[in-house]
């Protein structure tokens, strides 16, 4: 009889204890936030040398990627494109320089992340994205021989692309990324093919502080204000205006008003020019960099960005001179 009571008491305690233990386990979304924030810290703090392959459609670009911090805590990052034109990107703190051949095309910008590699939001805590995206932790796989944690970054309103991330479980480093349409089509991906951590700043980065920097691409003090009567009146929640200016396009010398918006994860540009000068037909393309061109009255409107085509079309349809909508 005593043994029966002991079994009964053990079963009772198990039933009482099990719910409290499971309640302490974070949800898939809570775990996703924790892993995303760990990744953001790793991208800022780790000293590493890596090679990666960036794939966008038929374009494949292998890149050498070095990152670290000086003893005075200055962050330094260097990217070298290994195929095609000689392109090097150097970031020291919040100053980023893009070196091209011929050197006449080189420029510098104010940025504490390297545009064209990862979204700026990946270097910041997830709280900056929480209103517009959710991040969900799932089961990872091996990437570059390392065990990973899988994260699914999902647009809350489907007006943006989604992302799949594979994060190194040991260091928190991002090892693989995919950008996908809401329907699941992969548009762009990036994967590290080698990854080496170190306690010290990589030797190749030690003497880059004295490198000559090219001129600044954009100086707000000399920027010309927009000149045409139309303005963008709608963008998805979370997009804020980064800059607006009247300028000539580099390749065509076409005069246009340019509006740049960002939600931290992606950017979208709206170009407004005179229809008689642009003379393009209605055009639409959805891809890693979507494109939509239309006209309204005497003006041509072009919207470009890493967003679904339906979102670009809605932005263009809401370019007008009316009172801004609430």
Q: How confident is the model at residue 33 (pLDDT cuts 50, 70, 90)?
A: very high
Q: Of 38, 40, 25, 33, nearest to 137 (Cα)?
A: 33
Residue 18 has pLDDT above 50, yes or no: no
Query: What's the pLDDT at 174?
Result: 98
Mean pLDDT of 248-264: 85
Q: Of 175, 180, 178, nearest to 194 (Cα)?
A: 175
Eight-class DSSP state of 120: G
Eight-class DSSP state of 282: -
pLDDT in tens, 45-75: 999 999 999 999 889 999 999 999 988 889 9
Q: How many Å apart are CA 17 and CA 126, to the nearest integer?
A: 33
Q: Sign of dihedral through CA atoms 160, 166, 170, 171?
A: negative
List every span in the chain annotated with CATH 3.30.200.100: 231-320
Percent of the chain with pLDDT over 90: 63
HSE at residue 207, side-chain half, CA atoms within 13 A, is 2
Query: What's the pLDDT at 221?
Result: 59
Query: What's the pLDDT at 326?
Result: 40
Q: Of 163, 167, 138, 186, nearest to 263 (Cα)?
A: 163
Check residues 141 and 15 and name the one with the higher pLDDT.
141
Query: What's the pLDDT at 48?
Result: 96
Q: How confident is the model at residue 19 (pLDDT cuts 50, 70, 90)?
A: very low
Residue 204 has pLDDT above 90, yes or no: no
Q: Which residue has the tokens 């006449």?
A: 104
Residues paired with 179 in a beta bridge: 163, 188
Mean pLDDT of 112-120: 87
Query: What's the pLDDT at 222?
Result: 62
Residue 95 has pLDDT above 50, yes or no: yes
Residues 6+ apart with CB under 8 A from 274: 228, 255, 298, 299, 300
Kindly give the residue spans of alpha helices, DSSP state H, lying in the chain.
2-23, 28-45, 275-278, 309-317
3-state helix, strand, coil in the chain (%, to 5): 20, 40, 40
Mean pLDDT score of the chain: 87
List every span in the chain annotated with CATH 2.50.20.10: 28-205
pLDDT in tens, 268-278: 999 999 998 88
Mean pLDDT of 126-154: 95
Percent of the chain with pLDDT over 70: 89
The answer to whether domain 28-205 has CATH 3.65.10.10 is: no
Residue 7 has pLDDT above 50, yes or no: no
Q: How far apart are the first and last CA of the chain?
A: 74
Q: Which CATH architecture has domain 231-320?
A: 2-Layer Sandwich (3.30)
Query: What's the pLDDT at 211?
Result: 83
Query: What's the pLDDT at 21?
Result: 43
Residue 177 has pLDDT above 60, yes or no: yes
Check residues 189 and 2 and name the one with the higher pLDDT.
189
Query: What's the pLDDT at 324?
Result: 46
Answer for the pair 304, 271: CB distance below 8 angstroms, yes or no.
yes
Query: What's the pLDDT at 170?
Result: 96
Q: How many Å apart are CA 98 and CA 86, to the nearest integer?
A: 11
Per residue in 53-71, is it b (16+ CB within 10 Å) or e — as a string?
ebbeeeeebebbbbbbbee
Residue 224: how many other CB atoms lie within 10 Å? 11
Tokens of 177: 């990324």
> What pTM, to 2 d.p., does this model score?
0.85
Q: Which residue has the tokens 């034109």?
A: 85
């Amino acid at each position: 009889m005593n043994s029966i009571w002991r079994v009964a008491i053990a079963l009772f305690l198990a039933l009482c204890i099990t719910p409290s233990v499971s309640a302490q386990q974070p949800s898939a979304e809570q775990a996703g936030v924790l892993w995303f924030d760990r990744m953001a810290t790793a991208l800022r703090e780790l000293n590493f040398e890596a090679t990666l392959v960036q794939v966008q459609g038929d374009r494949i670009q292998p890149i050498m990627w070095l990152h670290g911090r000086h003893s005075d805590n200055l962050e330094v990052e260097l990217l070298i494109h290994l195929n095609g034109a000689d392109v090097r990107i150097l970031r020291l703190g919040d100053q980023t320089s893009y070196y091209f051949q011929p050197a006449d095309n080189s420029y510098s910008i104010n940025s504490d992340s390297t545009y064209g590699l990862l979204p700026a939001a990946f270097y910041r805590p997830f709280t900056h994205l929480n209103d517009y995206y959710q991040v969900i932790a799932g089961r990872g796989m091996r990437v570059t021989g390392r065990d990973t944690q899988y994260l699914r970054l999902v647009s809350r309103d489907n007006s943006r692309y989604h992302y799949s991330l594979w994060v190194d479980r040991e260091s928190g480093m991002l090892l693989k990324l995919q950008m996908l349409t809401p329907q699941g089509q992969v548009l762009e991906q990036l994967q590290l093919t080698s990854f080496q951590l170190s306690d010290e700043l990589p030797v190749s980065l030690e003497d880059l502080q004295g490198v000559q920097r090219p001129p600044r691409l954009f100086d707000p003090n000399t920027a010309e204000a927009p000149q045409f009567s139309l303005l963008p009146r709608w963008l998805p929640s979370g997009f804020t205006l980064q800059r607006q200016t009247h300028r000539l396009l580099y390749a065509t010398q076409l005069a246009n008003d340019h509006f740049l918006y960002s939600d931290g994860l992606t950017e979208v540009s709206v170009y407004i020019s005179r229809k008689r000068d642009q003379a393009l037909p209605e055009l639409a393309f959805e891809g890693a960099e979507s494109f939509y061109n239309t006209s309204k009255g005497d003006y041509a409107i072009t919207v470009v960005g890493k967003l679904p085509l339906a979102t670009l079309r809605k932005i263009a349809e809401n370019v007008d001179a009316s009172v801004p909508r609430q």
